[in-house]
Amino acid sequence: MEDNIDQLYADIQRGNENTIAKAISMVEDGTKDAVKLMKKVYRNIEPAYLVGISGPPGSGKSTITQSIVQLWRKENIKVAIIAIDPTSHFSGGALLGDRIRMDKISTDRGVFIRSMATRGSLGGLNSSIYDTVLIFSLAGYEYIIIETVGVGQNEIDIVKLADTTIFVTVPEAGDEIQAYKAGLMEAGDIFVVNKADRPKSEQMVLTIEQLVSFRGDKEIWKPPVLATNALQDEGITDIKKSINDHHIYLEEKDLLQKNRREVIRAQMINLMEKKLNEKFISPILKDQKFFKHIELICKKKEDPYSVVNELLSL
Amino acid sequence: MDNFIKVLIAKPGLDGHDRGAKVIARGLKEAGMEVVYTGLRQTPEQIVRSAIQEDVDVIGLSILSGAHSYLFPEIMNRLKKADHSDVAVIAGGIIPEDDHKKLKELGIKAIFQPGTPISKIVDFIENEVQK
Ligand code: B12
Ligand SMILES: Nc1nc2c(ncn2[C@@H]2O[C@H](COP(=O)(O)OP(=O)(O)O)[C@@H](O)[C@H]2O)c(=O)[nH]1
Ligand SMILES: [Mg+2]
């Protein structure tokens, strides 16, 4: 058994695509072998530089990702992309369509694209995302991009994994942008107003610059606000340069390690929640008694506070 | 533990008819599957590489252009060469009955004609993946 894991580890390290892909599926499905593999990976591997790209659907995240990757590829840098789309709460299925805009890099041997659904329906971060980052790191990818649709808390949690977070919006976003202020706006290290070929993009750049300036003055990194036209590859070199600048900034201020400790902390909480859920909550939910309690609470014979204490033997 | 079925829906060649592929992609999603849709005009090389990287259980090829007899063998050969023949390949679109036997000999598991209800396709995939 251990030999199998060592073999798997070595094949990933050698960059075998079939094996990398299978290992990610194992992690997603939470198999026993995946746990064995990840134990070894965590003890040996430093994560590659992680870039998060987030923003509303259709803002151009996949198109921009492709353009940045093309620039890195000119320097022969290997890149992996994790393209995440939401799982439907109704069916549990997902439509993963980011590859449509990554056509130009899909046969490049130095690029690995993996689409993933959020899955984690109970809230909280899907821990397989960071495990996938580590698998790609083991395989020798130097940059890893995670694309997520910027809407909910789930996505903000994903974005927090990244060393550099890019937030993409479009000129028409208008007042919507105010709504993002609370969450993603605060997590952003680089802001991009894409589709600058359309009217009002300068106005949007100004609006965001203003919003960003409200951040506490302790903030030393001044997030750049960049206008791009991803269809024409305009402004993409600016994004690449800003990623580089932010990387240097993190290194100089010793913030890279700090961010990574935060990530491990989140990953730990996540794992604990998962275990508690598996061990204590799931069995209760499956027990007929649970439904009887619900009935009794509705009939005013019991109350949720007492029942929860009783069920969890607190 | 969790067992999600992952499917790649691909449109090989220069065929621009994408309604059917989109209908199938959405239908399979609504049936609880994770569906990777790669868009129009995929080369056999792109399709096989996507299938490997995404580690899908099923590849669904949609073709209405009539070029299946040229494109499908190419795809099946590349899958074999990449040591990835364990993935189930199915197809749909405008594919004349006369060609079905040959395509099935290549290893294509099933071919669905226009008008096939999505439930039939879902059942087939679920059965195939359980094997
Ligand atoms: C709509 C249509 C168009 C639209 C396409 C719009 C679009 N974005 O899709 C437009 C007007 C653009 C068009 C253009 C052309 N078309 Co046209 N078009 C049709 C038409 C009338 C309907 C196709 C359709 O959308 N059906 C509805 C969908 C839902 O059905 P479906 O795709 O068949 O999918 C079902 C099944 O096949 C199956 N399925 C399909 N894919 C998959 C995949 C998997 C994995 C599975 C499991 C199942 C499955 O499940 C689906 C649901 O039941 C057909 C005729 C017909 N009756 O099929 C001709 C037809 C396909 N077109 C044809 C032709 C020739 C053309 C043109 C070349 C015409 C021309 N000379 O310019 C161009 C080529 C365009 C291009 N770039 O490829 C011919 C093809 C002939 C052939 N194969 O030998 C057809 C058959 C008409 C004919 N009888 O001549 N077309
Ligand atoms: N006009 C214009 N369209 C763009 C630009 N960037 C992307 N698009 C288009 O916007 C649509 C959505 O792009 P996509 O990258 O898939 O967005 P995502 O959902 O954020 O990943 C596609 O049709 C792109 O071709 C741009 O700079 N200008
Ligand atoms: Mg996208």
CA of B18 to the centre of ligand 1 (A): 8
Using the mean position of ligand 2's atoms as its centre, give its distance from the Cα of residue B37 in Å: 16
Question: Based on the number of CB atoms within 10 Å of its own CB, is A228 exposed (0-12), middle (13-18) or buried (19 or more)?
Answer: buried
Q: Number of CB pairs < 8 Å for A and B?
A: 88
- In Å, how far are A2, A73, A147, B75 from B116, measured between CA atoms? 47, 43, 35, 24
Of chain B, the percentage scoring pLDDT greater than 90 comes to 92
Q: Is B83 in the pocket of ligand 1 (CB under 6 A)?
A: no
Q: Is B121 part of any domain?
A: yes
- What value of ipTM does the predicted structure carry? 0.95
B76 within a domain of the structure (yes/no): yes
pLDDT tens-digit series, residues B73-131: 999 999 999 988 899 999 999 999 999 999 999 999 999 999 999 999 999 999 999 87
What pLDDT, in 10s, does the model give residues A12-52? 999 999 999 999 999 998 899 999 999 999 999 999 999 99
Does the pLDDT value for residue A199 go beyond 80?
yes
DSSP A88: P
Q: How many Å lie between the alpha carbon of B82 and the closest alpha carbon of chain A?
A: 9
Q: Could you list the residue range(s) of the whole structural domain that residue B35 is in?
A: 6-130
CB contact under 8 A, B4 and A119: yes
Q: Which of A18, A93, A115 lies at the smallest CB-CB distance from B52?
A: A18
- Residues B9-68 have pLDDT tens digits of 999 999 999 999 999 999 999 999 999 999 999 999 999 999 999 999 999 999 999 999
Interchain contact, B35 vs A95, CB within 8 Å: yes
Which is it for strands B58-63 and A143-149: parallel, antiparallel or unpaired? unpaired
Q: Which has the closest alpha carbon to A248: A138, A164, A152, A131?
A: A164
Distance from CA of B2 to the nearest CA of A (A): 5
- State the DSSP code for B77: H
A61-116, pLDDT tens digit by residue?
999 999 999 999 999 999 999 999 988 888 989 999 999 999 999 999 999 999 99
- Two tokens, residue A210: 């203003």
Residue A194: Cβ-neighbour burial (10 angstroms; 0-12, 13-18, 19+): buried
Q: What is the pLDDT of residue A121?
A: 46
Find the CATH number of the domain harbouring B24. Answer: 3.40.50.280
Q: CA distances (Å), A310 to each of A274, A276, A278, A292, A307, in order?
A: 21, 16, 18, 14, 5
Locus of tokens 């805009």: A101
Within-domain flag for B1: no
Q: Please give the pLDDT value at position A179.
A: 62
Question: Beta partners for B36?
Answer: A96, B8
Q: How many domains does chain B have?
A: 1
| Local confidence band at A313 (pLDDT 50, 70, 90 cut-offs) | confident
Q: Tell whether pTM > 0.90.
A: yes
Q: Among A28, A97, A113, whose Cβ lies nearest the Cβ of B53?
A: A113
Task: Mark A253-267 as b/e (b = at least 16 C-beta within 10 Å).
Answer: eeebeeeeeebeebb
Cα–Cα separations (whole angstroms), residue A224 to A95, A191, A208: 32, 6, 10
Q: How far apart are CA A174 and CA A181, in angstroms?
A: 13
B126 versus A56: the higher-pLDDT residue is B126
Whole-number pLDDT of residue A11: 97
State whether B37 and A97 contact (CB < 8 Å): yes
Length, in residues, of chain A? 314
Q: Report the alpha-carbon distance of residue A218 to residue A205 in Å, rounded.
A: 23
The residue whose CA has the least distance to atom 13 of ligand 1 is: B17
Residue range A208-237, pLDDT digits in tens: 888 887 666 555 888 999 999 999 999 999
Buried b / exposed e over B3-35, threshold 16 CB at 10 Å, is: ebbbbbbbbbbebeebebbeebbbbbbbbbbbb
Q: How far is B70 from chain A (nearest CA, A)?
A: 21
- d(Cα A96, Cα A94) in Å, to the nearest integer? 6
DSSP symbol at B12: B
Question: φ, ψ for residue A277 (rounded to 5)?
Answer: -60, -50
The pLDDT tens digits of the residues spanning A232-287 come to 999 999 999 999 999 999 999 999 999 999 999 988 988 898 889 889 998 999 99
pLDDT for position A122: 45
- The ligand 2 site (C-beta within 6 Å) comprises A 55, 57-63, 98, 101, 194-195, 197, 229-231
